[in-house]
Structure formats: structure tokens, C-alpha cells
Structure 1
Amino acid sequence: MQADISQLKDAVATPGSAVSRWAQYYALTKPKVVQLIVFCAFIGMVLAVPGVPGWQDWGRMLTACAGIWLVAAAAAAFNCLVERSIDARMKRTAWRPTARGELSHSRALLFSGVLCAAGAAILLLAVNALTLWLTLATFVGYAVIYTLVLKPLTPQNIVIGGASGAMPPVLGWAAMTGQVGHEALLLFLIIFLWTPPHFWALALYRAEDYRRAGLPMLPVTHGNAFTRLQVFLYTLVLFAGCLLPFVAGMSGYLYLFAAVILGLGFCGYGWALLRNYSDALARKTFRFSLVHLSLLFAALLVDHYLA
């Protein structure tokens, strides 16, 4: 992941080339974040289909993934536009083309609008109206409510705003069934509980960045020790939440085994972070959180076909 981001930064920083301009627009979409969003939506789609998907199912899945990708990318681009001055003050995001002033406001806004319109059209015409409206609600939740309202005002921004980030499996489920089942809500809950310890681990070792940007992230407003405690407590709650698909009969023992092992690993990182903090450990915790969610959902997928 770091290598991919470094290559993208290099391409963005190469002035005057077609590759550079393409890379600038591509960077606005936050590709790694959007890939995880689409992956979680795809898992929701597959789990919503009993048995092995047929060709028609696969066609619908690919179409829905394309529509969701476009709207998610539009939300990311809008976020980059709105937060350009904040990004410019943060080491982690100062390379973004909007932060560097390499893309005009009008171009970034037009790019976001085109992506959103294209994604919305695909979802409405080729998937279903419910998926369209849920996806647009997610766009508003992230790009407007989280970015413009919650993030600059409250240290609980990532907790409340995490609802929009937890929507992808619900979108996927709705795309295949035309409704929101309780199974989709369980997947929503898992991501909702996963988001705070994932993001606060990042915020811990980037605290000075957020302080310099004037954002009220938890390590800035409540300190390092309190944030570490919250990370650990959330990993415990997340551990319990990840067992719910098995308890509800949605998955089998393979998933249960993966959930326990991955959950213990995340709790272990949270405990180590609480006992003996270092930026390096916080970075490892953040990276493990990505592995945790990816493997957890992959285990759900494999278990679905082995059941």
C-alpha cells in the first residue's frame, strides 16, 4: 500500500504531463479507501445471494460495484476539495493536488459531480432505486455531514460519522435483494465498531498533524492516554460484535475461528498500545486493523460457500 501511494505521489508531483494530470484526478478519489469500500460492498452482495451466483448475479454485482465506486470516489474528491486548506497543513495529506493548488476548485468540483452523476445513473438504471438512495445518503453522510459538520466540531466525529463508512455491505445487500436484511445490519455494525479503533490508532501517531490543522481529534482534545484507552475498549466491543454473525446463524465455524483469532490480535494490539505507547506501535495497530477487516470479511465469504 505504501509503495502504491508513493508512486501516486511521484506521478502527481511530475508537472506538465498527461500522466501527472491523470494522477492528480485519480489521487482525489482516495483509491485505497475506495477499494476497501467496494470490497466490503462486494462481500455484502455475495452474501445476499444464496448459493453460487449465476451469470446474471455476477453482472449485477459488477454493475453495482462500478456505481458504488464512482459515487464513493466522488465523495472522496469532494472531501479533498473541502479540506484543501486543512490538507495543506498536514504532512500526511499535503501532497494531494487540491492541497498543492494544482487542481482548481472548479475542476475538482466538476470531477466530483461527474463521478457522482455517472454512479447514480448506473445504480438507478441498472441496479435499483433503493441502492441509489442509500448510496447517495452515504455520500451526503461522508462528504457533507462528516466533512463539513462533525470533523471540525467534535472529537466524536469519527464515531458518529462512522455510520456512513459502515454502509458498504448494506449497499451491496440492497443491490442484490432490493431490501436491507438483518444480516446486512450486522455487517454494518461490525464496520461501525471497527472504525474508531482503526482511525484513532492513526490519529495517535498523527496527533501533531491534526493539532497543526486545528482539528479536534480525540488525541488532540483528550490526550494520548485517554485515546489509547478508548482504542482498547473499542477492540473489546468489536470482538463481541464480530461474533454476532455466528450467533445469528449467518456464518459457520470457519468464520468463528477467524473472528476469534483476528479479534484477539486486535485486542492484543490495543492492550499493548495502552500499556506501552510508541508511534511505531500505533502505526502497526493501524495497519493490523486493515488486515483485520479485510480477512474477517474474506472469512465470511469463504464460510458462505463452505456452509
Structure 2
Amino acid sequence: MASVTRAKTSLSSIRWVTLSCVIPRTPISSAWPKIWNACCGHRESDEWSNGKIAAFPVCTSIPVTALTLPQNRLRRFLALTKPRVVSLIVFTAVIGMFLAVPGLPPIHAVVFGTLGIALVAGAAAAINCLVEQKIDAVMARTRNRPLPRGEISARETLLFATAVGCAGLVILWLEVNPLTMWLTLATFVGYAVIYTVLLKPATPQNIVIGGASGAMPPVLGWAAVANDVAPEALILFLIIFVWTPPHFWSLALYRAKEYAKAELPMLPVTHGPAYTRLQITLYTVALFAVTLMPFAIRMSFRYSIVYLATLFSALLIDHYIRTYGNDGL
């Protein structure tokens, strides 16, 4: 029986040594005993800590866990960029590209313009996460982001945002045009600095003023293809600019207690739900009027007025159902 035990131990030692040779001593492999402990309940070996190989029984989940750690880290960095928000930014930028010219836009401008805008938008989102990490830790909607959970450090976030943002700006400068690069840089500053640092913690009108940066993507897309900013591009800007406050105020109504706990002066916190609902209604009516402007200047085809009117009538009805139909908000 003792010989069988020694044989099993020797076999497990060989397998452990094999794994250790395949994966050299790195930050990941150094953390291996801790992963082992978490997976299998074994104590970390002093021999491993001293640079020697420990003879643990083999746990087949360890190599998989260790090898997938870099992927998990990449996912955390990706989460800093707020992919869902960036996808909407990219979508509206591409719409601006296709509306900027009569036919199809140049594929080169579309590809590199989209890439550059997406990278800079992701960098701005990462800076937002960095600045608001204490606020994010308080709110249920954001507490699982990488920074509040301690999965990524502030220094790593800053370096990541700098690298990604600079890469995006360089792409726009070299492969698109300088106008798009400067407009994108101004949008980055508007969101990451003016809105996140200055306006959001200071005034209930933060989203109204700061919404300008969120409305810029169609203008950026337009500039990427046409190398100018036409009045039609400004109408696209205006539509998103007017849409932004009621969208975020509806969310703020739902999260009013969390915003109050985080000491953020959102409109429902400073002026109450009734006033916020009134402002949402007024902005929604204004949004309906603004969406008719492309039709008025013949920017869109003749049936645009029908589907735009239908779309924003549906938004208005949805607003009434969500706000006036739910007293608990």
C-alpha cells in the first residue's frame, strides 16, 4: 500500500514538473499555488515560494485556470471601455459617414475613421471609470466594474487609456484627416474632463451641457468622409443632443436613491421626481420637433417624416408608461 502511495506521489510530481516546464515562472505561474488552494483546498507549498517545485496531487483545472488568466485580464480592460456605449457611438458615427456623401463613402475612411473614433471613445470611457471609481463602488449598476472590484489599478487604467486614446488619434491624423482628429480630441476632453470631472459632481444640468460630447459622433463620422462639417451634420448633432437629457433623466429617476447616496446632483435628487418628469416631457416634445428638421431641409427621403414621427411618438408613449405609470420611481 505504501509503495502504491509513493508511486502516485511520484507520478503527480512528474506531471507537476511537466506543467512547470511548459509554463515558466511568471506572475501567473507564481500565483499557481494560490489558484491550487482555491480550486483543490491544498496549502501553498513553501518549496514553491523558495523557487523549488512542489509535489502536489494533480488538479486538471489548474492549467486551464492559469492559462486563461490573461484572457480574463483582457476582458477587464475591455470592460473599462464600456463596449455597449462605444458600439452606439460607432453606430451613430457610421451613420454620419454614409449621410455625408451622395453615394457610398470611401471604404478607407469608413474603416480607419470607425477604428480611430472607437479607440478614443474607449479611452474616454476608461478615464470616466478612473475618475468615478468611488462613485461606481456605491451604485449597484456600476459596483461590479473592474476598478471598484480592485481587479485593475488606477495606474494601469491611466496607462491603458493613454495608449488607446493616442493610438486612435494617430490613426485619425494619418489615415483619415486632421479635422476629424481635432474634433475627436475635443470630444474626448468634453466627456472625460468637462463632463466627468467638472460638471457631473457640480450641477444638475450636467447632462444637458455635457451631452454635447455624446452628440458629436455623427459629426465626427461626417468629417471623416467629407473633411468638413456641414449644416446637415449639425442637425444630426442636435437630434442626439436633445435626446440625451430625457434618456439619462429617466435612468436617474429609477436610480435616484443611489445617486443621492453617491452625492451626485442629478435632477431627481436636487429638484424631485415631478419636476424631472416635466423636463423629460418637454425635452421629448422638443426631440419630436427636431427630428423633423432633416425632412424639412430635404436631407432624407419623403417617407422619413412618417417613420420619424412614429418612432418618437412611441418614445413619448413609453415615457408616460414608465414615469407616470410607476409611482415608485
Deviation sequence 1:64-100 (CA, Å, 0-9, x none): 0000000000000010001001100111000011111
1:172–1:93 CA distance, 2 compared to 1 (3 A): same
- Quote the residue 1:135 is aligned against: 184
Shift of residue 187, structure 1, vs aligned partner: 0.2
Match of 1:238 among 274, 282, 287: 287
Question: Which 4+ residue blocks in structure 1 deviate beyond 4 angstroms?
Answer: none
Shift of residue 273, structure 1, vs aligned partner: 4.2
Asked whether 1:52 is paired with 2:104, we answer yes
What is the CA RMSD across the aligned residues, in angstroms? 1.5
Q: Which whole-Å CA distance do the structure 2 matches of 1:108 and 1:278 have between them?
A: 40
Q: Check the 8 A contact 1:70/1:116 in 2, yes or no.
A: yes
1:153-168 matches, cutoff 5 A: 153-168=202-217
What is the letter of the counterpart of residue 144 of structure 1? V
Q: Which whole-Å CA distance do the structure 2 matches of 1:278 and 1:162 have between them?
A: 28
**Higher RCO (C-alpha under 8 Å, 6+ residues apart):** 1
Match of 2:86 among 22, 34, 38: 34
Shift of residue 269, structure 1, vs aligned partner: 2.2
Match of 2:242 among 167, 172, 193: 193
Unaligned 5+ residue runs, structure 2? 1-64
Unaligned 5+ residue runs, structure 1? 1-13, 283-307
What is the letter of the counterpart of residue 42 of structure 1? V
What is the letter of the counterpart of residue 260 of structure 1? A
Deviation sequence 1:215-235 (CA, Å, 0-9, x none): 000111111111111111111
Q: Which whole-Å CA distance do the structure 1 matches of 2:324 and 2:173 have between them?
A: 50
Match of 1:89 among 109, 119, 138: 138
- Quote the residue 1:68 is aligned against: 117
Q: Check the 8 A contact 1:173/1:180 in 2, yes or no.
A: yes
TM-score normalised over the length of structure 1: 0.83
Deviation sequence 1:187-219 (CA, Å, 0-9, x none): 000000000111111111111111111100011
* Identity of matched residues, %: 58
Match of 2:76 among 24, 36, 42: 24
Classify the secondary structure of the residue corresponding to 2:202: coil
Q: Which whole-Å CA distance do the structure 1 matches of 2:263 and 2:131 have between them?
A: 15
- Quote the residue 2:196 is aligned against: 147
1:152-231 matches, cutoff 5 A: 152-231=201-280
Shift of residue 272, structure 1, vs aligned partner: 3.3
Q: Check the 8 A contact 1:131/1:175 in 2, yes or no.
A: yes
Q: Which whole-Å CA distance do the structure 2 matches of 1:18 and 1:237 have between them?
A: 48
Q: Which whole-Å CA distance do the structure 1 matches of 2:281 and 2:227 have between them?
A: 37
What is the letter of the counterpart of residue 221 of structure 1? T
Classify the secondary structure of the residue corresponding to 2:303: helix
Shift of residue 256, structure 1, vs aligned partner: 1.4
Classify the secondary structure of the residue corresponding to 1:17: helix
